[in-house]
Structure 1
Amino acid sequence: MILSLLLGGVILSTLSILSFFKIHLIPLIIAQSQIFTPIGSLLDQAVYLAILLPIALYFTRSSTANDPSGNNSVKSLIFITISIVILMGLLFNVYQIFNPPTPGQKLIILPYKIGLQTAFASISQDTNRFVQGFFFGSGFGTFATDFTRFKQAAFNQNQTLWNLTFVKSSSFILELLATTGFLGLLSFVFLIIRGGKVVIAGSNKFVNPFSISLVLAIAALIILPVGFTIQAIFFILLGLFAVVQSLIKADHKKFFDIELQIVALKKGLFNVEALSSTPSITPQHHLRHDTSKILPVIFAIIIFIIVGFLGFFSTSYLISDIKFQSALIAASKNKATETYQNQAQAISIFPYRENYYRIFSQTNLSLANSLASSQPKDASPSASDQQRIYRLIQQSINAARTSTTLSPQTSINWQNLSSIYRSLIGFGQNSESFAIATQQQALILDPNNPQQYILLGGIYYQLGRWENAQTQFQIAVNLKSDFANAHYNLGHALENKGDLDKALAQYEIVKGLVSTDQNSLKQITSEIEVIKSKIEGKVTAVIPEVPPLIAPPLNVSTPSAQLPPQNPPVEIPPPTTATESAQ
């Protein structure tokens, strides 16, 4: 076990060092990056290597101190090499964390204040499941939904983070509180206290080679937002620490083996015994049992089934990931057919990932829109093309609906479904009401995000319902008063409503907010001149068009794609009903 851990650290360190110099040994496109790591993140890899380094140094010291004659020089050299490689890998990792190849790859951690607020809100403000939420949380691995549901409106004042959704809390212990509740946190704290007391107490605390590593793992779990790998290594270290500690004479009475025997009695009953590793003083008091091989065989079969089950799904998960990555690469090269096929195959291999369905739904919509837009003007598509368009749209809606079924409390899934229905306004029956209903559900699950209100207001704007659009845009402005695009959309709603003076006031606010962005400043200045001419009764001014490739970020909320209208509209599937907990 120890050698496996150290060998894993050497492999990770070697890959990290070579990747830094752009030498990539793993023949996968996803691995062709300077910051690629099999663990998932540079932070987790740095913590992993930092945990292993004291173990490697301990055995390096032991092998050299216990061999003054140099008989085991090969063994000493091996541990010295392992320590150096792990140390170098750690240094390269830390350097890349603080100096990423591109600014967009910089490590971003949720502020502790926000993480603490989210954790306590998650276990105390879930009104539909208050008791369950308090004791058991929202469910392990669901922090992203907790964050969107319970983040405070004040978070929008953070200029660099306000539009981000965090899938991890500020630290593992805060994430544990939010997702597993009070009982989950209590269990973890119990393990920390029990392990920490043994490490700190006594004169033998540095005899155990895993003491320092265990302390580092605990510190990382309390301070940093580490992933599953560090969580697993913590429990592995805890087990190894207990094994070694049981061999220390001063503590051998505190650590002992428990043997559980399940035997069949002659009378046909079942008995469970806990046998201490210390022999009994009065063996005559032991009951005589007729042990049978049937029960061990049954349990062995059960274990093999569980291992096989987990192995099958883990392999499927990995293969689907590789296939989906191939789809993304094909999409970057504008290979639409290959993208579609690879995404469909990835979903068929592992049909349990909501983000796959979400992306697949947009791929189908894009293909349908491209096919519909390629038809000659004023000409109806052929029967085969029409059938393909209808099939792609059905697949797009069904994939988006499936993502909301798999994860009904994830706001982005409902937002995605709403965007698809919005693209079908005029094409599909009741698409406008479906778009509004699903966007409202997204808004319920992410109530303090101004972007959600802009999207809902954009649907009303598209339908010409200026009052409703104004209401939603105004909420977005209230949530983030320095959000230029919220003021911009509100100004357009007011302008179309005919309230030109208020629209001009919003445009003037936008002008002040985008004063450092020359493209946006030029655009809003032109629009201010136009609305001023309207107020003065001169409507001859025209807003200059901005080429799409240099379009500034100021824009009225519009659908990502828009299918041409159909008369009569095509029947399309309605959205799935939100679960009670999501509602």
Structure 2
Amino acid sequence: MIAKWSYRLTTFFLLAAPVCLPLFYLPLTTDFYQFNKLVLFYILTGLGLLAWLVYSIATKTVRLTLSTPLLPFLTLAAAAAASIWFNPPRTAESWLVGGGLYLAGFVYFLLTSTIVQTAPQVKTSLLLLTAGLSLTALAAALNINLTGSALSLTSLLLSWLPAALVLAFKARSGPKKIAYFLLSGVMVSSLILNGYKLLPGRELQPVLLNPPAAWLIGVDTLKTKLFLGTGPGRFSESFTRFKPIGLNLTDYWNINFAVSANVYLELLTTLGLIGLAAFVWLIGSVNRLRRRLPGTRITASQLALFAGFFTQILLAMAIPFTVVNWVLFVITISLLVSGQKSKQTSQVKDVLLTLSAVTLVEPQTALDSGQARSILPWFIALPSLLGLIIVFFNLTKVYGAEYYFKQSLDAAAKNDGKNTYDLQVKVVGLAPDNDRYRVAYSNTNLALANSLAARTDLSDQEQQTVATLIQQAIREARAATQINPNKAGNWANLANIYKSLVNFADGADQFAQAAYVRAIQLDPANPGLRLDLGGLFYGLKNYDSARDRFLETIQLKPNLANGYYNLSYVYQQQEKWLEAYQAMQQVIAIVEPDSDDGARVRNELSDLEKKLPPAKTADQPETTGGDLAVPSPAPAAPDNLPPIEL
């Protein structure tokens, strides 16, 4: 009885994943969709593993399916684990959110390919999977996008539509054929409605990194991390470090892409040559499953699964995968393996593992084989159970931190500073090694300090509170750079905090400069960082250094109006009127002529023209885009503020 129900529970949990994941989301965290789908996948896989362990103990044996995709899957998961290990920080988030999908995907594949044994089970799985995706498509028709974006929905439906159509055309006449045609029709309708919105120039045109830039980033990453890449989920670090300067001339110049252009380039960058080779090996191993014994024919289920699989690997060349895309990819391969079991091919075999306990008996004692105690399931169950406890303990902390962080952002949106602060204290307590939370907490401290310092007639206690908040802002910003020193954004945040303290904290200017330099080293093609550093020098009246930084800014992005505008102000301070006039001419060529900025710049250009030496003009090329802001000095300290400790 235990074996029967544990087997059913294992099947239920594993096959619920591809059905529930497309439909599931929770508005409890900052990411309603992908993060919560990932957590659900972990929960269902973990429960499936737990039920399978009970089943193995009840049957006193360990049954596993060995197939050609097994070793490539294991290699891919091992590459992800090794990449995390050799690319610190090795935080709970990096394991669970970054590499956990590859590790859980391997466990899911091993269990599903083992537990699904018969052709009817495969057919039932296909029907459930198609129905789940069709419900997702139907919800989209009602303006309820359960996947998070039109692109993720379209890619999900497109990757399974060929399989659904094969099942519809191959099914025998009857209710099942009608059902498949109806489900396929819903998917086609949703694809047309949502796919139209993704066309160039439409309102939902996706913003994706272009493949040539992604290729250059991947190749440059391999020069320093050849075999294991930068680590799963950490593409943004490679992007900032190796971003081609040519991207600054596009509309997406100020976007820090978190994923590569497609799955293959993502794996190349984050998991290195080993990860990419394992994925290609996996594709080849699945392709070998097409081999059949003489006299046998391919079934409708197998044909549908192969249609879905090949569509997915083609789609992987065009876009990066979401959590649901990866799970669909894994379940497709798992069902392909299960579908081969009845064919008795060499690519798929079940192996039964047993290990009995040693028992001391008297000589000539009759041996009753029924009394043998199989201990192998226990050997597997105990460490697996320990691993599950560790995983779910950390998962609870990670999810709790995300939950409270979402609450803190909601409080901040309501301008509730106290609740924002208190909730972020909880967040940092739950996830002290998460640099993202430390950055947010540092900014909250600084914002509260600025808000309090803006009041008139501060009491001694309030002045001390301002000083404490500023010290905490510095501490948290420093902590973020210590947790992950390879993220340019952490150093830029630290630099901005120091920059805001220049007028009332000794040495803040030097610390700000050092932090900006480190951020620029990690994000050398970012014109914004050099613009900010130039603004710091301008506020310190170090005009030569400010000029050099602004010149570097416009070299990186020749159509950035603010770079020329600030450069003009530097030249004005140095009384270099011709150079100031030339820089302001560039601004005129860039800004919209009918905008407020355009009118202001024309007035300033007219004033500069009056200061030019006779017969001096300058012709400048025409470019586009930009917003104007004069470099501003750091805010002054409130009266009698205690010294700030740096």
TM (norm. structure 2) is: 0.70
Contact kept, 8 Å, 2:162 with 2:311, in 1: the verdict is no
2:271 corresponds to which residue? Answer: 180
2:486 corresponds to which residue? Answer: 409
For the structure 1 residues 568 and 518, does the alpha-carbon distance in structure 2 shift closer, same or farther, using more than 3 Å as the test?
closer
Q: How far 1:85 sits from its partner (Å)?
A: 4.1
2:579 corresponds to which residue? Answer: 502
For the structure 1 residues 390 and 10, does the alpha-carbon distance in structure 2 shift closer, same or farther, using more than 3 Å as the test?
farther
1:556 corresponds to which residue? Answer: 630
Q: How far 1:317 sits from its partner (Å)?
A: 3.5
For the structure 1 residues 510 and 308, does the alpha-carbon distance in structure 2 shift closer, same or farther, using more than 3 Å as the test?
same
| 2:153 corresponds to 1:45 | yes
Q: How far 1:44 sits from its partner (Å)?
A: 2.6
1:170 aligned to 239, 261, 274, which one? 261
517-526 vs 210-219, which deviates more?
517-526
Q: How far 1:497 sits from its partner (Å)?
A: 2.4
- Name the CA distance, whole Å, in 2 between partners of 1:230 and 1:555: 43
Q: How far 1:7 sits from its partner (Å)?
A: 4.9
> What amino acid sits opposite 1:238 in the alignment?
I
> What amino acid sits opposite 1:12 in the alignment?
T
Contact kept, 8 Å, 1:428 with 1:566, in 2: the verdict is no
For the structure 1 residues 98 and 312, does the alpha-carbon distance in structure 2 shift closer, same or farther, using more than 3 Å as the test?
farther
Per-residue Cα deviation, 1:77-135 (whole angstroms, up to 9, x for no partner)? 655554444444444442443499x94x53111111111111111102x3xxxxxx111
Per-residue Cα deviation, 1:326-364 (whole angstroms, up to 9, x for no partner)? 333333333333333343334444444433322222222
2:325 corresponds to which residue? Answer: 230
| 2:188 corresponds to 1:97 | no
> What amino acid sits opposite 2:313 in the alignment?
I
Q: How far 1:416 sits from its partner (Å)?
A: 1.0
For the structure 1 residues 515 and 76, does the alpha-carbon distance in structure 2 shift closer, same or farther, using more than 3 Å as the test?
closer
| 2:237 corresponds to 1:145 | yes
| 2:258 corresponds to 1:121 | no
For the structure 1 residues 40 and 397, does the alpha-carbon distance in structure 2 shift closer, same or farther, using more than 3 Å as the test?
farther
Q: How far 1:529 sits from its partner (Å)?
A: 2.8
> What amino acid sits opposite 2:332 in the alignment?
L
Identity value in percent: 28
2:512 corresponds to which residue? Answer: 435
SS where residue 256 of structure 1 aligns? Answer: strand
SS where residue 417 of structure 1 aligns? Answer: helix
For the structure 1 residues 216 and 572, does the alpha-carbon distance in structure 2 shift closer, same or farther, using more than 3 Å as the test?
farther
1:325 aligned to 403, 406, 410, which one? 406
Per-residue Cα deviation, 1:416-465 (whole angstroms, up to 9, x for no partner)? 11101111112223211111111111100110111111111111111111
Contact kept, 8 Å, 1:16 with 1:92, in 2: the verdict is no
Q: How far 1:400 sits from its partner (Å)?
A: 2.0
For the structure 1 residues 572 and 294, does the alpha-carbon distance in structure 2 shift closer, same or farther, using more than 3 Å as the test?
farther
> What amino acid sits opposite 2:157 in the alignment?
L
1:519 aligned to 583, 596, 615, which one? 596
Q: How far 1:466 sits from its partner (Å)?
A: 0.7
Q: How far 1:200 sits from its partner (Å)?
A: 8.2
1:571 corresponds to which residue? Answer: 644
For the structure 1 residues 89 and 448, does the alpha-carbon distance in structure 2 shift closer, same or farther, using more than 3 Å as the test?
same
- Name the CA distance, whole Å, in 2 between partners of 1:457 and 1:237: 54
- Name the CA distance, whole Å, in 2 between partners of 1:325 and 1:91: 34
257-266 vs 206-215, which deviates more?
257-266
Q: How far 1:260 sits from its partner (Å)?
A: 4.4
For the structure 1 residues 420 and 195, does the alpha-carbon distance in structure 2 shift closer, same or farther, using more than 3 Å as the test?
same
Q: How far 1:17 sits from its partner (Å)?
A: 2.6
- Name the CA distance, whole Å, in 2 between partners of 1:12 and 1:347: 36
- Name the CA distance, whole Å, in 1 between partners of 2:292 and 2:237: 41
> What amino acid sits opposite 2:521 in the alignment?
I
For the structure 1 residues 221 and 335, does the alpha-carbon distance in structure 2 shift closer, same or farther, using more than 3 Å as the test?
same
Unpaired runs of at least 5, structure 2: 1-14, 16-124, 361-368, 615-625
Contact kept, 8 Å, 1:427 with 1:569, in 2: the verdict is no
For the structure 1 residues 5 and 386, does the alpha-carbon distance in structure 2 shift closer, same or farther, using more than 3 Å as the test?
farther
Contact kept, 8 Å, 2:264 with 2:276, in 1: the verdict is yes
| 2:331 corresponds to 1:243 | no
Contact kept, 8 Å, 1:487 with 1:506, in 2: the verdict is yes
* Equivalent residues in 2 for 1:443-482, closer than 5 Å: 443-482=520-559
Q: How far 1:169 sits from its partner (Å)?
A: 1.0
How many residues were matched structurally? 499
2:348 corresponds to which residue? Answer: 255
| 2:422 corresponds to 1:341 | yes
Q: Using CA pairs under 8 Å that are at least 6 residues apart, name the structure with larger relative contact order, 1 or 2.
A: 2
Contact kept, 8 Å, 2:445 with 2:469, in 1: the verdict is yes
- Name the CA distance, whole Å, in 2 between partners of 1:91 and 1:416: 43
Q: How far 1:190 sits from its partner (Å)?
A: 0.7
1:490 aligned to 544, 567, 572, which one? 567
SS where residue 53 of structure 1 aligns? Answer: helix
For the structure 1 residues 255 and 294, does the alpha-carbon distance in structure 2 shift closer, same or farther, using more than 3 Å as the test?
closer
1:358 aligned to 407, 417, 439, which one? 439
- Name the CA distance, whole Å, in 2 between partners of 1:291 and 1:137: 49
Contact kept, 8 Å, 2:424 with 2:441, in 1: the verdict is yes
- Name the CA distance, whole Å, in 1 between partners of 2:152 and 2:258: 15
1:25 corresponds to which residue? Answer: none
SS where residue 240 of structure 1 aligns? Answer: helix
> What amino acid sits opposite 1:507 in the alignment?
M
- Name the CA distance, whole Å, in 2 between partners of 1:344 and 1:7: 44
For the structure 1 residues 84 and 504, does the alpha-carbon distance in structure 2 shift closer, same or farther, using more than 3 Å as the test?
same
| 2:468 corresponds to 1:418 | no
- Name the CA distance, whole Å, in 1 between partners of 2:136 and 2:397: 24
* Equivalent residues in 2 for 1:19-30, closer than 5 Å: 19-20=143-144
2:22 corresponds to which residue? Answer: none
Contact kept, 8 Å, 1:246 with 1:253, in 2: the verdict is no
| 2:292 corresponds to 1:191 | no
Contact kept, 8 Å, 2:292 with 2:343, in 1: the verdict is no
1:15 aligned to 114, 132, 139, which one? 139
1:108 corresponds to which residue? Answer: 207
- Name the CA distance, whole Å, in 2 between partners of 1:450 and 1:245: 56
- Name the CA distance, whole Å, in 2 between partners of 1:240 and 1:204: 17
Contact kept, 8 Å, 1:450 with 1:479, in 2: the verdict is yes
Q: How far 1:393 sits from its partner (Å)?
A: 1.5
- Name the CA distance, whole Å, in 2 between partners of 1:555 and 1:199: 63
SS where residue 601 of structure 2 aligns? Answer: helix
Per-residue Cα deviation, 1:18-54 (whole angstroms, up to 9, x for no partner)? 335xxxxxxxxxxxxxxx53x4443233222233334
Contact kept, 8 Å, 1:428 with 1:569, in 2: the verdict is no
SS where residue 144 of structure 1 aligns? Answer: helix
TM (norm. structure 1) is: 0.77
> What amino acid sits opposite 1:106 in the alignment?
Q
> What amino acid sits opposite 2:222 in the alignment?
I
Contact kept, 8 Å, 1:372 with 1:563, in 2: the verdict is no
Contact kept, 8 Å, 2:477 with 2:493, in 1: the verdict is yes
Contact kept, 8 Å, 2:495 with 2:515, in 1: the verdict is yes
